[in-house]
Amino acid sequence: MRAARVWRVLLGVQHTVVEGVEFEMSPEGEVLIARVRPTRSRAARCGRCGRRAPGYDQGEGQRRWRGLDLGTTRVFLQAPAPRVSCAVHGVTVVAVPWARHGSRFTAAFEDTAAWLACHTALSVLAELLRVTWRSVAGIVVRVVAEAAGRRDRLGGLRRIGIDEISYRKGQRYLLCVVDHDTGRLVWAAKGRNATTLRGFFDLLGQQRSAQLTHVSADGAEWIHDVVGERAPQAVLCLDAFHIVTWATAALDAVRRGMWNQLRAAGNKDQANTLKATRWALLKNPANQTADQRSTVASIATTNKPLYRAYLLKEQLRMVFQTKGEPGHRLLAGWLAWAQRSRLPEFVKLAKTIKKYLALIHNTLDHGLSNALSEATNTHLRLLTRRAYGYHSADALIAMATLTRGGLCPPLPGRS
């Protein structure tokens, strides 16, 4: 076997001629330098579009690209980096088959870094590959851009979920769209308003927007307005989790109101006892501990209004577990009960639910929720914690697209 072929396999490169290999001392220790050049069929091509182009100049001369380590030794590929004059993109650095345009790393190195970014903490990745976090962010952006350019991520959409998530302090939000049929994140952008969502539908196009059958969302009316404007044929479903959250908030407001009344009347012991019931009331019965079930049983006999609020919360949750026509009837009974409950918080909630009644009926009939969107939001929060935050929305979007958008590359040499 020829030595040149052995080195091509070890370096993980294709369409490349290995002219020589040598060791060199650096401040970090001994490194291996492989002098390479593209094969004739891949030479003199535009770095952006890959088309053949006439030469322009020699550029900055020799350039180096970081490759995957061989054992414990760092590896660099070295080659000339002339510039060509492309008819479309103008003067640009020549394309090389071992690296993406504008990168100082080989494609094999970047694919490995992107795979590790999906499966481990960035601090571990940076230590293992001996790169900075900023370099990892740039790698992820390039890998995602290349993978997204090879597929239509918005093709075949029928049922989507729309939700927003706060990614940083200071009211900074991302708007995310997930595909209910594949579970993938298909689009994300900075902002949470109608203009941002219209950007998604502009990208989707009129023809594909007309193919949408179902859309799930929370109670944000600007989402409802844009969906009605751009995809009026789609069935809009209000997320059940958010509706039950409204009931949970109403229950907690009832408890806080009673707590404040007891404190104002000087009944500190009773106020402290009521304060300790918060988690027992908010938890679903299946998740309650024995002590919490005892607390709820005690409330049932000693605090009728608070127990009534608890039952209203639980019955609304049961509405979405029942679904269909029985769910419609149970919801109608819940509305009648809430309106005459003499609990201002639930009377107000009943008015809100009547406002969105048609959308809630859609939810009961079609069983669509924002569960996938909430799972994506949880994943984004995990990514943010693992990276100790992101300085830009674009970096987080790229990482989320890599991990939740199905764009994670395989490890080099594996399918």
C-alpha separations of 331 from 177, 239, 311 in Å: 29, 15, 13
Indicate the residue among 32, 67, 101 that finishes a domain.
101
**Residue 415: what pLDDT?**
64
* One domain for residues 114 and 87: no
* One domain for residues 110 and 207: yes
* One domain for residues 212 and 322: no
**Residue 57: what pLDDT?**
92
Residue 151: CATH number of its domain: 3.30.420.10
* One domain for residues 156 and 144: yes
Indicate the residue among 325, 345, 366 that finishes a domain.
366
Rounded distance, CA 350 to CA 61, Å? 72
* One domain for residues 71 and 135: no
**Residue 339: what pLDDT?**
95
* One domain for residues 116 and 215: yes
* One domain for residues 235 and 256: no
Rounded distance, CA 212 to CA 158, Å? 4
What's the number of domains the chain is made of?
3
Q: Which residues contact 72 (CB under 8 A, 6 or more apart)?
A: none
**Residue 2: what pLDDT?**
72
C-alpha separations of 284 from 28, 30, 243, 310, 322 in Å: 57, 61, 15, 10, 16
* One domain for residues 395 and 298: no
DSSP characters for 141-184? Answer: HHHHHHHHHTS-TTTT--EEEEEEEEEETTTEEEEEEEETTT--
* First-residue to last-residue Cα distance in the chain: 25
Rounded distance, CA 308 to CA 304, Å? 6
Q: Is 0.85 surpassed by the pTM of this model?
A: no
* One domain for residues 83 and 193: no
* One domain for residues 4 and 56: yes
* One domain for residues 30 and 109: no
Three-state DSSP class for residue 75: strand
Contact 178, 161 (CB under 8 A): yes
**Residue 185: what pLDDT?**
94
* One domain for residues 37 and 109: no
**Residue 109: what pLDDT?**
96
pLDDT, tens digit only, all 415 positions of the chain: 477 888 888 898 999 999 999 999 988 889 999 999 999 999 999 999 999 999 999 988 899 999 999 999 999 999 999 999 999 999 999 999 999 999 999 999 999 999 999 888 888 898 999 999 889 888 999 999 999 888 888 999 999 999 998 887 777 889 999 999 999 999 999 998 999 999 999 999 999 999 999 999 998 999 999 999 999 999 999 999 999 999 999 999 999 999 998 888 888 888 888 888 999 999 988 899 999 999 999 999 989 999 999 999 999 999 999 989 999 999 999 999 999 999 999 999 999 999 999 999 999 999 888 888 888 888 888 888 777 777 778 888 988 999 999 899 999 887 6
For the chain, give percent helix, strand, coil, nearest 5. 50, 20, 30
Indicate the residue among 101, 130, 158 that finishes a domain.
101
Beta-bridge partner residues of 282: none
Q: Which domain holds residue 158?
A: 105-239+369-415
